[in-house]
């Protein structure tokens, strides 16, 4: 079987506070049509693609905070995406804020789903590496309150069989942590998709902000190469409610080479034909896990959360 087909990243420009879910879905529908016209079978949308990036704001009122979350999926606003996916025979990955009652408790997650070409949800991931703070930081122009508004994901790092391959999901900050990539690769993922909202104006360190694009691409390229997986990274970008978000959506090969990259800070579709069997060359050589990995030496990774301060902490 030849496993070569076109995939797409549908980058979104800024979403304002006033934009409705329908506004966002209409933009996504346009991009889905554009991708399908190029023969694409799979399209990746950004993290929190249905709203502005609300964790930048201090929102004290729970009822107001709840308006940023989806309580069901699909719902009346997002149903057209599912219907068009089925009509165009294209799968997709979508990020959104999820409010759910689980075990009698109301819970809030930063979530991504996989939808197959029949328009059915076939995979779900809830973001594990939540960045930022759980308390507002005094003096900051923009907050980053993901730790306040979301709970850490409780689904692990699942891999979903789909489109003759195995797809894993990460969300934004997850791309900087090699552990998630590896857990996906150890389940034989061949394609990793990731949406992101990455500001380049609020770390508090100018030198760090200046490298935001470089560090994003470095993370995607090294994640792909070190784990022999294709990756599709999709930005929400541009000047959103006064916050500057990077673009550079990218499709990256298991070689670590970028094969398609966005050029604007607006809605933009990029496409690439990917050969899923390319990963085999890497998995049979440098990254033949069975021959070369030595998990008995890695126990600290799952036992210890942080580096000990002592220099001799071996």
Catalytic residue among 24, 47, 193, 268: 47
Q: How far apart, in whole angstroms, are the C-alpha atoms of residue 91 and residue 95?
A: 14
Which pair of tokens denotes residue 282? 């890497």
Residues that bind ligand CDT (CB under 6 A): 47, 131-132, 144, 172-173, 176, 196-198
User: Which is nearer to ligand CDT, 131 or 136 (by Cβ)?
Assistant: 131
Distance CA 73, CA 61 (A): 24
**Is 102 or 205 the residue whose CB approaches ligand CDT more closely?**
205
CA angle at 106 for the pair 100 and 112, rounded to the nearest 5°: 35
The kind and range of the H/E element at 95 are strand 91-102
Whole-number minimum distance, CB 252 to ligand CDT, in Å?
A: 16
Q: Is 47 marked active-site?
A: yes
Q: How far is the CB of 273 from ligand CDT (least distance, A)?
A: 28
In the complex, minimum distance from the CB of residue 208 to ligand CDT, in angstroms, rounded to a whole number? 9
Both tokens of 136, joined, read 């507002």
CA–CA dist 163, 1 (Å, integer): 12
Give residue 248's region: left, alpha or beta (phi > 0; psi -120 to 50).
left
| Shortest distance in whole angstroms from residue 204 CB to ligand CDT | 9
Tokens representing residue 205 in the block: 């360190």
Question: Could you tell me which of 265, 257, 169 has the C-alpha nearest to residue 220?
Answer: 257
With contact defined as beta carbons under 8 Å apart, do 56 and 96 qualify?
no
Question: Minimal distance in Å, beta carbon 174 to ligand CDT?
Answer: 8
Name the active-site residue from 24, 172, 193, 237: 172
172 is catalytic: yes
Q: What is the CA radius of gyration of the chain?
A: 19
* Spatial CB neighbours of 302, under 8 Å, sequence gap ≥ 6: none
Taking the least distance from each CB to ligand CDT, the nearer of 306 and 308 is 306
State the catalytic residue, choosing from 24, 70, 98, 127: 127
Is 266 assigned a catalytic role?
A: no
Q: Between 173 and 262, name the residue whose CB sits nearer to ligand CDT.
A: 173
Q: With respect to ligand CDT, which residue has the nearer C-beta, 201 or 273?
A: 201
**Catalytically active residues, by annotation:** 47, 127, 172
């Amino acid at each position: 079987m030849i496993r070569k087909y076109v995939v797409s990243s549908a980058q979104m420009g800024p979403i304002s506070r006033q934009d409705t879910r329908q506004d966002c879905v209409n933009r996504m529908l346009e991009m889905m049509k554009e991708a399908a016209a190029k023969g694409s079978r799979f399209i990746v949308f950004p993290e929190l693609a249905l709203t502005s990036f609300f964790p930048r704001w201090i929102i004290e009122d729970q009822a107001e905070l709840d308006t940023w979350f989806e309580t069901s999926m699909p719902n009346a606003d997002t149903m057209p995406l599912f219907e068009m996916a089925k009509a165009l025979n294209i799968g997709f990955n979508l990020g959104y804020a999820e409010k759910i009652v689980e075990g009698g408790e109301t819970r809030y997650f930063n979530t991504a789903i996989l939808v197959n070409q029949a328009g059915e949800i076939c995979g779900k991931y809830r973001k594990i590496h939540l960045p930022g703070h759980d308390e507002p930081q005094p003096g900051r122009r923009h907050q980053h309150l993901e730790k306040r508004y979301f709970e850490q994901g409780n689904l692990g790092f699942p891999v979903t069989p789909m489109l003759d391959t195995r797809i894993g999901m990460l969300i934004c900050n997850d791309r900087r942590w090699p552990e998630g990539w590896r857990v996906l690769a150890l389940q034989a993922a061949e394609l990793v998709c990731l949406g992101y909202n990455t500001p380049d104006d609020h770390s508090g360190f100018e030198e760090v902000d200046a490298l935001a694009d470089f560090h994003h691409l470095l993370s995607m390229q090294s994640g792909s190469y070190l784990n022999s997986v294709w990756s599709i990274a999709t930005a929400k970008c541009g000047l959103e409610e006064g916050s500057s978000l990077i673009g550079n959506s990218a499709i990256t090969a298991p070689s670590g080479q970028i094969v398609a990259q966005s050029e604007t800070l607006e809605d933009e579709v990029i496409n690439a034909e990917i050969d899923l069997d390319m990963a085999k060359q890497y998995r049979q050589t440098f990254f033949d896990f069975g021959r070369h990995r030595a998990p008995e030496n890695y126990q600290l990774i799952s036992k210890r959360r942080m580096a000990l301060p002592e220099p001799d902490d071996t």
